[in-house]
Structure formats: structure tokens, C-alpha cells
Structure 1
């Protein structure tokens, strides 16, 4: 299965998908912290958030995305 997202609205889709990934990563981190997950898992969750922030910044062509971890 393949999906092609392009054209004039492609950047909007990319930004939307990156936002969903950031939200998912944030919820995962929050849940893991509350459940007392080990430090390795917490670091992994934080790294995922940083990567999601970079993806959003790239789709918005901006160097700044304000998300506090």
C-alpha cells in the first residue's frame, strides 16, 4: 500500500502529521512518567519529542517550535 501526499496542500499534510506525532510522543512521555517507567524509557520518549519538534519546524520552515519537556 502506498500513499502520495503532494501538491499545493502537501505541506499542510506534512505539518498536520508532524503535529500528530508530537502529540502522540508527548502523551507517551506523560504516561510513562506517571507510571514510573525506567530512565532509559523516559530518555527515549524525550528523544522522540525532540525529533517530532524538528519535523514540525522543517514543515513550517521555521527554526523554532516551542514545546517544553
Structure 2
């Protein structure tokens, strides 16, 4: 189960880094008519994507190499 969650975090993080406007539209953009995301919103989405990539990688490393972290 941990490996699956780590893989999902990596996939979502990668999509969020590569296409930050997509996640902005599905989380916030649908609420407004003819709205465009700001640079800050896109930057925050990319930051969250990088964070998810790191968390997913850490979860997968812990799954495949148990006992190496304290």
C-alpha cells in the first residue's frame, strides 16, 4: 500500500509540475468565469508538485529499503 501511495504522489506531483494550470482549473478555476491563474498561483502549484515528488520518492525508498531511515 505504501508503494502505491508513493507512486500516486509521484504521478500527481509530476503532472502538477508539468501542467500547473490543469490543477489550478480543477481546484479553483472552475469557480470563476473567464479567469486566468496568477503567476503566484502557478508557482505555488509547481512548488506543491515538487514537494509531492520528494514525498513520493521518500515513500518509495522507504518501501524498497526498509530499516535504513531512523
More helix by share: 2
Q: TM-score, normalised by structure 2?
A: 0.49
Q: TM-score, normalised by structure 1?
A: 0.49
Could you say which structure has the larger radius of gyration?
A: 2
